Amino acid sequence: MSPSQSHTQHAITLQGVSMSFGSALALRPTDLTVHRGEFLTLLGPSGSGKSTLLNLIAGAIAPTAGRILLDDRDITFTPPRDRGIGMVFQNYALMPHMTVFENVAYPLRVRGCSADEIRRKVHEALERVGLKGFEERKPRQMSGGQQQRVGIARCIVYSPAIIMMDEPLGALDKNLREQMQDEIKRLHTDLGTTFIYVTHDQEEALNMSDRICLMSVGEIAQLGTPDELYFAPQSRFVAEFIGESNLIEGSISGPGRMAAAAGGEFVLRDTTRAKGAAVTLMIRPERLHLLAEGETAPAGANLIEGRVAGTSFIGGMTRIQAEAGNGLVLTTKAISEHVSRRARPGTPVRLCWNPEDGVLLDR
Ligand SMILES: Nc1ncnc2c1ncn2[C@@H]1O[C@H](COP(=O)(O)OP(=O)(O)OP(=O)(O)O)[C@@H](O)[C@H]1O
Ligand SMILES: [Mg+2]
């Protein structure tokens, strides 16, 4: 580790980095710090700028403005191969005529390593990804999951300071994706290297990341831990992109109170908003409780009445939708065995929530 690396906790720092392709702005001026050793995921809908951000860090493209630092060293215009950043691609990008061994050995040959070192490191990398014994296969003789393991082995074989993956599991089916998510997480723990990971799958991001950088049309919508994004979204976009959400619109009617546009007044956790301010209250479905017949709401809880509009059985949980009047539809989730008896469409229901579980968003 060089002296300059020893006093920074930041692997990558972006300062005012923006990217335009012709007249199209793919990334607005962005500041971002990636901590040393963390697993950071860039999450967002298609076209939000995830790959652009990754390619800027990798050096595949140069920014229109701003600076990129790697451990305090300005690498804005450093060629990709001199950055020490490894990349895993969605389409594997393996060389089809080469064996697995040669594919993984390639980055070491380019770096002029000795034959002994190459043999040792390739075997170590293949063992790490569970592909010992596959050395002589060609990529086309392997499954998608195995090919992506080769892609990962080729990335880790030369111990890059940062490992970046752009939708690496995008081409795999659900079960394999979940298995590979666990393997990649384990790899991150074992190597201790900084990972920057791109996905548009929110569950994958929630499962894998130390922090998530949620992107929306060329800018960061929110950067935080999976918990922060789920429980404390700062905007409607974040609330709707991560998980399921109930959104109740209205305006502040008094200190810590809100009048819903659909009718009813609710107690808020937040007491700082000015009277009359337009707001949206967000409640996660699992925080909205369906009261049983005769059951009273806990003291201080907000209560809303409605009728069951529909239910869907999703395995261990059942999702219940309730019409609460004036077009307001609320969704709640409950453990299946307790609700299957009482949630018939049209049944009157009462829903309640603790004001602490309501998140106030600016409209
Ligand atoms: N080489 C390019 N030339 C012109 N426009 C581009 C180029 N690369 C990206 N863009 C544009 O920049 C924006 C961001 O693209 P980017 O590839 O970063 O999105 P993304 O978040 O990775 O999307 P996806 O999930 O579909 O991969 C898009 O509007 C895209 O059309
Ligand atoms: Mg992309």
Q: In this predicted structure, what is the pLDDT of residue 2?
A: 45
Specify whether 221 is located in the same domain as 254.
no
Average pLDDT, the chain: 92
* Residues within 5 Å of ion ligand 2, judged at the Cβ atom: 51
Domain holding 146, by residue range, is: 3-240
Q: Are 30 and 128 within one domain?
A: yes
Q: Where are the beta strands (DSSP E) in the chain?
A: 10-21, 24-35, 39-43, 65-70, 73-74, 85-88, 162-166, 194-199, 211-216, 219-224, 246-254, 257-260, 265-267, 278-283, 289-291, 302-313, 317-323, 329-335, 348-353, 359-362
- The domain that holds 87 is classified in CATH as 3.40.50.300
pLDDT tens-digit series, residues 122-141: 999 999 999 999 999 999 99
Summarize the confidence of residues 262-273 as an average pLDDT.
Answer: 92
- For residue 200, the ligand closest to its alpha carbon is 1
pLDDT in tens, 207-225: 999 999 999 999 999 999 9
* Domain end point (choices 205, 240, 275): 240
- Report how many domains make up the chain: 2
Contact 169, 41 (CB under 8 A): no
Domain final residue, candidates 192, 224, 240: 240
Ligand nearest to the CA of 44: 1
Q: Is the distance from the beta carbon of residue 19 to the nearest atom of ligand 1 less than 6 Å?
A: no
Give yes or no: residues 217 and 273 share one domain: no
CATH of the domain at 323: 2.40.50.100
- The last residue of one of the domains, among 186, 212, 240, is 240
Average pLDDT over residues 228-232: 95
- Looking at the CA of residue 215, tell me the nearest atom of ligand 1: 21
Whether residue 341 is predicted with pLDDT greater than 90 in this model: the reply is no
Q: Which ligand is nearest to the CA of 20?
A: 1
Please check whether residues 231 and 253 belong to one and the same domain: no
State whether 197 and 214 are in the same domain: yes
**Ligand 1 atom with least separation from CA of 61:** 1
pLDDT for 8 equals 63
Q: What are 65-111's pLDDT values in tens digits?
A: 999 999 989 999 999 989 999 999 988 899 999 999 999 999 999 99
Taking the model in full, what pTM does it have? 0.90
Helix 144-156 and helix 174-191, axial crossing angle in degrees, nearest 10: 20
Residues 146 and 289 in one domain: no
Q: pLDDT-based confidence at 5, cuts 50/70/90?
A: very low
Question: If you measure from the C-alpha of residue 151 to the centroid of ligand 1, how many angstroms do you get, rounded to a whole number?
Answer: 23
* Residue 262 sits in the same domain as residue 283: yes
* 77 Cβ below 6 A of ligand 1: no
User: Is 222 in the same domain as 281?
Assistant: no
Same domain, 308 and 218: no
- How would residue 7 be classed by pLDDT, with cut points 50, 70 and 90? low
Claim to verify: residue 148 and residue 194 sit in the same structural domain: yes
Q: Specify whether 153 is located in the same domain as 291.
A: no
30 and 16 inside one domain = yes
Residue closest via CA to ligand 1's atom 25 equals: 46
Helix (H) / strand (E) element for 294: namely: none
